[in-house]
Amino acid sequence: VWIHPRTPLFSPRAGAVGATTLKSGFPFSSDLPDPSTPPTPSRPLKKPCDPPSFFLSQGRGERAYDIYSRLLRERIVCVMGSIDSLASLVIAQLLFLQSESNKKPIHMYINSPGGSVTSGLAIYDTMQYVLTPVCTWCVGQAASMGSLLLAAGAPGMRHALPNARIMVHQPSGGARGQATDIAIQAEEILQLKRQINGLYAKHTGQPLPVIEAAMERDRYLSPVEAQELISSH
């Protein structure tokens, strides 16, 4: 984990935009529709929380980009929110950027409370599959599976901003049904626990007993504490 409060979150490549002009397309209050008027196909309803869009001049015309598509052009992937609903999109973006270049790093910004273990492992496996080095950044929080994605970044390319919080713990879940069904589900959770502990040990360089002790209960870490945890890797 590398802490550098002056590191810019967004550094466009030199000459990436050139002489083109970017114009903000964020809907100000005067642009919002009258809520009493129902939307029509020619007049779609706008939401105040929609991400801003930009218009990039290209030759004789302009092309509209939402903010996340604009960041994707700079090889920036955002994992903001629960991992469950983001997994498919994040995987698709990683594969797309890998096809664009397998040498230029991908920057993944994480602000996530965690989510489904299997969804998180799907993102993790994709990060390990692509040849492109994945640089991870924690902004806000990287909790539960979010912390595993943070740790899964390329060695020397895992970062956390000064006020970020990182939380690790063992997987949790509920079981119901017949006694045999409950036993099957309990064994699956225990297997996932062993698997995840092994992944943390792999990416931190810490002995497995140290990881198991740290993961036994919710453990919150500052960037400095997280840096100490992976200081050997």
Give 65-121 pLDDT, tens digit per residue. Answer: 788 888 899 999 999 999 998 999 999 999 999 999 999 999 999 999 999 999 999
169 is catalytic: yes
Within a domain: 17? no
Please state, in angstroms and rounded to a whole number, the distance separating the CA atoms of residues 162 and 224: 8
Domain residues for the domain of 214 are 75-185+209-229
158 and 222 in a common domain: yes
118 and 56 in a common domain: no
Within a domain: 203? no
How much is the CA Rg of the chain, to the nearest whole Å?
21
Give the contacts of 164 (CB within 8 A, at least 6 positions apart).
138, 139, 140, 141, 142, 223
Please state, in angstroms and rounded to a whole number, the distance separating the CA atoms of residues 65 and 56: 7
pLDDT of 160 > 80? The answer is: yes
231 is catalytic: no
82 and 169 in a common domain: yes
Pick from 84, 25, 77: which is nearest to 56 by CA?
25
Within a domain: 7? no
pLDDT of 140 > 50? The answer is: yes
- Considering the candidates 112, 144, 147, 203, report the single residue annotated as catalytic: 144
Whether 211 and 197 have beta carbons less than 8 Å apart is answered as yes
58 and 143 in a common domain: no
Q: What's the pLDDT at 39?
A: 53
pTM listed for this prediction: 0.75
- Considering the candidates 57, 116, 169, 222, report the single residue annotated as catalytic: 169
- What are the tens digits of pLDDT across the range 162-190? 999 999 999 988 888 899 999 999 999 99
- Which range, of 39-53, 195-209, 215-229, averages the lowest pLDDT? 39-53
Within a domain: 46? yes
pLDDT band for 57, please (50, 70, 90 cuts). Answer: low
pLDDT of 46 > 60? The answer is: no
For strands 53-58 and 22-24, give the pairing: antiparallel
Q: What's the pLDDT at 15?
A: 38
Please state, in angstroms and rounded to a whole number, the distance separating the CA atoms of residues 186 and 174: 9
